[in-house]
A = this chain, B = another copy of it.
């Protein structure tokens, strides 16, 4: 951010009075421009024990496989965002939705909220952002060609719970260690998380 979106003057990165963090503050009108994490909402859609994956037609990670998910929009609920993304990317309609996982990605300031849902008769087709879509059982998941670590984490948790036949809400973190860029994967039950 270089210019104030309210008045067009230049901004400076400084700690406003009474605040504790640096913010972009307008040099002319004084408006403080906060920047906050974004929610990515998506779904693990099920049909006959398989889950719905999309092969990405867009960057980043074009050609790799992902769960239908995307940035939540203003004016919608998280479950509406997950259903909308599943329709846009895989032309699948969800029923019996349930909250499944919340995964924090603080190094990119994102929170992934994944729902579970069912797709009647497995009806789906590639939306504009997908090269192809398909149904995969645990053994046929293209584990080596998944687009993002958070997608692998959500799928691993899902199939672990699928084998047990029980789906508690899951909480997780993906922490990038700045010294070596290593990603640390943390998984919790919702009833016990760690700060």
Contacts and interface: CB of A to CB of B under 8 A. Distances in A.
B106 A76 contact: yes
Given A74-B36, A99-B171, A190-B99, A83 B115 contact: no
B7 A5 contact: no
A74 B35 contact: yes
A49 B96 CA distance: 35
Interface residues on A, range: 35 or more
Contact of A3 (B3, B71, B78, B115): B3
Nearest to A11: B5
Contacts of A39: 36-37, 39, 111
Interface of A: 1-8, 10-11, 18, 21, 24, 33-39, 71-80, 83, 94, 96-99, 102, 104, 106-107, 109, 111, 113, 115, 128, 167, 169, 171, 173, 190-195
24 contacts: A1-B5, A1-B6, A2-B6, A2-B7, A4-B5, A5-B11, A8-B10, A36-B39, A36-B73, A37-B39, A37-B73, A37-B74, A39-B39, A39-B111, A72-B111, A74-B109, A75-B106, A75-B109, A77-B106, A98-B191, A99-B169, A102-B102, A102-B113, A167-B191
